[in-house]
Structure 1
Amino acid sequence: MRNVICSLAAISTFVAPSLAKADSPVQKPNILVFIADDLGWEEIGAYGHPVIKTPNIDWLAQNGIRFDNFYLAASSSSPSRCSILTGMYPSCTGAANLHENMPEHINLFPDRLHDAGYYTMLVGKTHGTNHPKVKARFDYRKFIDWSKPWTMVDLWKEALTQRPKDQPFFMFAASIDPHRPYKQGHFEHPYHPDQVVVPPYLQDSPEMREELADYYDEIGRFDDHIGQVLNLLREEGTLENTLIIVMTDNGRPFPQCKTRVNVQGLKSPFIVYCPSLIKRGSVTKSLASAVDIAPTLLEVAGVKRSPGLQGISLLPILGNPSAEIRKYAFAEHNWHVFRAYERSVIMENYVYIKNWLPHLPNPSVGETMRMPAYKKMLDSYLKGELPQVQQDCFIAPRPAEELYKIPDDIHCVNNLIGEKEKKAIVEEMRLVLDVWQQSIGDSYPGEKKLKGDTSDRRTGEKLKKENTADVAD
């Protein structure tokens, strides 16, 4: 077990060789991060989806690198985004719960880019960055009207057009697609319910198929918006000198996905385009985490690593897809409408989950629960007609621990925690989790000190009026 602890310790000490010094005469690359809202990693053409068309994201993958084992540090929107922007785990950002905003003193990696001469832009969804003094640290800020998601691309193009052309830029392009509500705006080529692929843990009902088709439509719009920005950069002649990332903040907004610290809640599409660094069409199986983004982008920009970063630079992988930088990735699930405290450890072949509240059901997110597809699932469950593989969001008590072998069980439906032959791997991952939590100061405070439910765990109906400044579940 000493080797396990040493491997974990190496996570916080390894720093890749620097790409360029801060005073290097080499032209600094622009940096553009496209982040979707509630996009499942499977629903991208480059990841093999048989139905959804994402030609622009696919082009970036064909000319960049596709990460096949990239995991977020949280399965909920604002904690995940805060983790990305800080390079720290959610419990260290001061905003571990949904709708919490980071404190004004928080260190964001865009601050360091700004100090190094970058023009920084936060455009689209603002979540976790709503503290006025945090938002004000971006050079340019413009936010989406949630009732008009189709206008997202106009904001992105406006931001890029108005920027000073004598500075490199960083833009956090934060879409609200494919977040609910659906059926907003016009879609040139809408998907039909008969086309959708229903995962095994979701009920194959007309209601579910309609919601999935609507979800597909918004993924297509996200891809189209990316394409329009790529065309703008091509016209400017700046595309080749722009590092571009495409990712999501958490899994799809359906039962057993978003807010779960399993594969479908945490795994993100992660595509990086940067012709000067990456051999086109690369694919990596190497494990990577959202906390690794900050140190990577600082290093690419030739900026000194910020104090407090908890990730590892991905630069070795960008240059060599077979390189490995970490053995473990970690994630959290804290309050997101419902009281929660879960942690997970991810390895190349396993996902381990510990739940401190196993006596409670682990439902879907509130807005999903108020939709026809979920209500149909609930009705079937109450009638005893729902297959066991689809019951997970209703059952209680739950397992306190879960172990899934991936990619054999990519949907995390076969819990191996009690199998004798898995005893050694479970003990290893328990120890790794404990050491990691101690290393970042994360400890279970007790159920009474956790933020309480604001919606009913069975129906999703709100129990009291919430602060809707951040609009959505």
Structure 2
Amino acid sequence: MSPRLYCLPIAVLLLAAIPTDATAEDLARPNVLWIVAEDLCPDLGCYGNADVTTPHLDRFAREGCLYRNAFATSPVCSPSRSALITGMYQTSIGAHHHRSHRTDGYRLPEGVKILPELLRPAGYYCVQLRQFPADVDLHSGGKEDWNFTHPELVWDSHAWSDLKSHQPFYAQVNFGEAHRPYRSSGPAIDPEKVTTLPPYIADHPIARRDWADYLETLQTIDEKFGRVIDLLRADGLLDNTVVIFLGDNGREDFRGKSTAFLAGSHVPLLVRWPGKIAPGSENDGLVSLLDVHASTCAIAGVELPAGCAGLPLLVDSKQRREYLFTARDRIENAVDRVRTVQDGRYRYLRNFLPDRPHLMDRRYYDRTNPVRNLMRQMHADGKLTPGQAKVFAPQRPPEELYDLSTDPFELKNLAGSPDPAHQAALKNLREQLDAWLVETQDQGAQPEPPEAVNATVGRGRRRRGTGDGDGRGRGGNGGGQRRRSDQGGGRRPSPDR
């Protein structure tokens, strides 16, 4: 549990992952490309979802490794991305409240650096991709969304055309189609034929339509992903580039994004590294997105600074994460504090504000997610199952425990179960969380400074430091209507993003 275990010399761990007969060419540092998709769970075809068609990502999974249990550190973008780019829990660096510190000049603690600051001295050219060849139908507005004031120099370029002549490079591309309001351009999915609607959502035509809309965005993401891979291949970059596809947080499906439940932080993670990762491999161990940061440093031969919480699991498959932690704090107007820990079977939630309901009023989600209003009405009409209705209770238990092996949708709280196995799991995870709160210096118990709150609640929606074209429409296309578009940028930012 000690954070010192997370900070072993990365160069040593990287050498353990390289064959002893490696040539000088084998040891050449590869390029690294993160393809980050917003707001999705592992709902792709390669994860067994027959309702959706994702041939490019399915093929990519066959050529690399598919991770089944990867999780963001937060169920919403800005805390998750703040952790991902620094390699530290957002709760350790004061970046845990959504869209905080946008205008108050808040800086990261001394010694904490973002990933480009670590990679650039090692010779890596750092690119946030927004500009693609004119003859390729590919758009990305770029997205940072960090809850701190970043250094003046973050990216060396935004242009794809600079990659080939600036190797090794570290690059990011962002796909926002699965962020509400949904945007899709691929084949339509018949709502009546979907079979994967989660059981915590009522089986209703509105819910089916909304679920089909979400799945259609995954098909559009797949098309765009394929175009990126084609560009890498055409430029001769594919075989010397470690490509990592990941989500920034889980899907927004009424009990996913913005909640502490599993679907809020469960994300897809696919990695292709020719010659180093066996094609068609799978990993069912616990992986945090912090481990993507640590693995990227390992690939580049960069040692992690003290305090970083990731493990280079993508380059050293022998390592395993015993416990995985997530945190949920204020999101827009909904003030909250929840911490979770899981061990692969049991998942424990601690609600520090149990006097509040699971489902708090959220202006943005109430406007863009038709399922929220549908479920409210069905709850008022007494038409929900107990598992579906529990989020509407005016209060929630201080502790929750779920056996994911028998209850993957977290419908039955076992915290009060007399079963000795359940009580043993509860005791263990409770103790693990207590220790983690201390070891990571969790700042969630401290009141949020008014200047940090005022920087996001009720402010103008100007996006500082997140890139032009980073936003999405402000409504009008919510209520379950999907926007038929492949465009990834050029719209005004939404309050949630």
- TM-score by structure 1 length? 0.84
Report what 1:334 is aligned to.
Answer: 329
Report the count of equivalent residues: 431
Structure 2 residue 347 is matched with structure 1 residue 347 = no
Report what 1:294 is aligned to.
Answer: 293
Give the SS at the match of 1:268.
strand
Cα pair distance change 1:87/1:234, threshold 3 Å: same
Report what 2:462 is aligned to.
Answer: 469
Q: Is the 1:119–1:168 Cα contact (8 Å) retained in structure 2?
A: yes
Matches within 5 A, 1:59-458: 59-100=59-100, 103-105=106-108, 106-123=112-129, 124-129=141-146, 133-134=150-151, 136-141=153-158, 159-163=159-163, 165-182=165-182, 184=183, 187-196=185-194, 197-315=196-314, 317-318=316-317, 323-337=318-332, 338-363=334-359, 365-370=362-367, 371-420=369-418, 421=420, 422-445=422-445
Q: Is the 2:124–2:168 Cα contact (8 Å) retained in structure 1?
A: yes
Give the SS at the match of 1:270.
strand
Cα pair distance change 1:316/1:15, threshold 3 Å: farther
Q: Is the 1:94–1:101 Cα contact (8 Å) retained in structure 2?
A: no
Calculate the aligned-residue CA RMSD, in Å. Answer: 2.6
Tell me how far apart the structure 1 counterparts of residues 198 and 390 of structure 2 sit (CA, whole Å).
14
Give the SS at the match of 1:284.
strand
Q: Is the 2:95–2:148 Cα contact (8 Å) retained in structure 1?
A: no
Q: CA deviation at 1:237?
A: 1.5
Give the SS at the match of 1:303.
coil
Tell me how far apart the structure 1 counterparts of residues 3 and 124 of structure 2 sit (CA, whole Å).
33
Tell me how far apart the structure 2 counterparts of residues 275 and 265 of structure 1 sit (CA, whole Å).
31
Code of the residue aligned with 2:77 in structure 1: it is S
Give the SS at the match of 2:392.
coil
Q: Is the 1:20–1:299 Cα contact (8 Å) retained in structure 2?
A: no
Give the SS at the match of 2:260.
coil
Q: Is the 1:20–1:300 Cα contact (8 Å) retained in structure 2?
A: no
Q: CA deviation at 1:85?
A: 0.8
CA deviations on 1:311-367 (whole Å, 9 max, x unpaired) are 11114544xxxx342211111001112101000011111111100111111226543
Cα pair distance change 1:215/1:357, threshold 3 Å: same
Q: CA deviation at 1:392?
A: 3.1
Tell me how far apart the structure 2 counterparts of residues 198 and 369 of structure 1 sit (CA, whole Å).
20
Code of the residue aligned with 1:367 in structure 2: it is Y
Cα pair distance change 1:378/1:110, threshold 3 Å: same
Q: Is the 1:35–1:246 Cα contact (8 Å) retained in structure 2?
A: yes
Tell me how far apart the structure 2 counterparts of residues 96 and 69 of structure 1 sit (CA, whole Å).
22
Q: Which one of the candidate residues 12, 18, 30 is aligned to 2:6?
A: 12
Q: Is the 2:7–2:304 Cα contact (8 Å) retained in structure 1?
A: no
Cα pair distance change 1:208/1:294, threshold 3 Å: same
Cα pair distance change 1:467/1:356, threshold 3 Å: farther
User: Quick one: percent identity of the two aligned structures?
Assistant: 28
Uncovered stretches (5+) of structure 2, i.e. residues with no partner: 17-23, 130-140, 464-492
Q: CA deviation at 1:53?
A: 1.2
- TM-score by structure 2 length? 0.81
Q: CA deviation at 1:415?
A: 1.0
Tell me how far apart the structure 2 counterparts of residues 418 and 131 of structure 1 sit (CA, whole Å).
40
Tell me how far apart the structure 1 counterparts of residues 337 and 144 of structure 2 sit (CA, whole Å).
21
Q: Is the 1:293–1:313 Cα contact (8 Å) retained in structure 2?
A: yes
Cα pair distance change 1:28/1:72, threshold 3 Å: same
Q: Is the 1:255–1:393 Cα contact (8 Å) retained in structure 2?
A: no
CA deviations on 1:250-283 (whole Å, 9 max, x unpaired) are 1111111112223211211111110121011011
Give the SS at the match of 1:134.
coil
Q: CA deviation at 1:135?
A: 6.2
Give the SS at the match of 2:434.
helix
Q: Which has the higher contact order (CA 8 A, sep 6+)?
A: 2
Code of the residue aligned with 1:348 in structure 2: it is G
Code of the residue aligned with 1:114 in structure 2: it is R
Tell me how far apart the structure 1 counterparts of residues 170 and 264 of structure 2 sit (CA, whole Å).
27
Tell me how far apart the structure 1 counterparts of residues 127 and 107 of structure 2 sit (CA, whole Å).
18
Give the SS at the match of 1:343.
strand
Report what 2:484 is aligned to.
Answer: none
Code of the residue aligned with 1:244 in structure 2: it is V
Give the SS at the match of 1:171.
strand
